Amino acid sequence: MLPKLTIGRVAAAAGVNVETIRYYQRRGLLEEPKKPLGEYRNYPTEMVKRIRFIKRAQALGFTLEDVGGLLQLNITDACAKTRDLAAQKMASIEQKLFQLQTIRNALAKLVHQCDKRLKSSPCPIIQILELDADSGWAANGSKKRQNPKQQTDLAASPGIASFRRPQKRKISG
């Protein structure tokens, strides 16, 4: 006779913890077997496969909502729908890579400015972080766009990549 698959054994076989299984059950990704009176729930062996499917899908960037949709597909139309979802994920990843590269370039320029700054001058990184978002000046020293839809998070802004220290203004009077 095969040993009963308790939630602990399923978790161990799938390489997750018990709370992960319970979370997937609450999200509707896994069914919770009925509990016999005075006994432990007996999980089917297919549960391990399903959990591994969920984890692999997550590793590819699919959300749990996406996974729920994938689990609902029937075999005949699954490929076209899954392909479309995967293509959307690829586009999202490309966008994130572009944003990360922009942030990386901006930080590299700021680090370079720190390396070449004079000891008596303020830190360029601190300066850019202290900029008042309402001051009307972009991170590159130019006037900010007035359209709020075009304004982006400072860290992801392409303007930060071309950061220049603001010129000190002469006060007349």
Three-state secondary structure call for residue 98: helix
Distance CA 146, CA 143 (A): 9
Q: Above 50 in pLDDT, residue 133?
A: yes
Q: Cα separations (Å) of 144 from 131, 137, 159, 164, 169?
A: 12, 5, 9, 14, 18
User: Does residue 18 fall inside a structural domain?
Assistant: yes
The chain-wide mean pLDDT, for the chain, equals 80
155 & 87 share domain: yes
**By the 8 A CB rule, do 104 and 159 touch?**
no
User: Does residue 70 fall inside a structural domain?
Assistant: no
Mean pLDDT of 142-152: 43
User: Does residue 74 fall inside a structural domain?
Assistant: no
151 & 118 share domain: yes
Distance CA 51, CA 5 (A): 14
User: Does residue 112 fall inside a structural domain?
Assistant: yes
User: What kind and span of H or E run contains 12?
Assistant: helix 7-14
86 & 41 share domain: no
User: Does residue 71 fall inside a structural domain?
Assistant: no
Mean pLDDT of 65-84: 88
User: Does residue 19 fall inside a structural domain?
Assistant: yes
User: Does residue 167 fall inside a structural domain?
Assistant: no
| Per-residue three-class SS string for 15-51 | CCCHHHHHHHHHCCCCCCCCCCCCCCCCCCCHHHHHH
Q: What is the domain range of residue 36?
A: 7-63
User: Does residue 54 fall inside a structural domain?
Assistant: yes
95 & 155 share domain: yes
pTM to 2 decimals? 0.63
Query: Confidence band (pLDDT; 50, 70, 90) for 57?
Result: very high
Total number of domains in the chain: 2
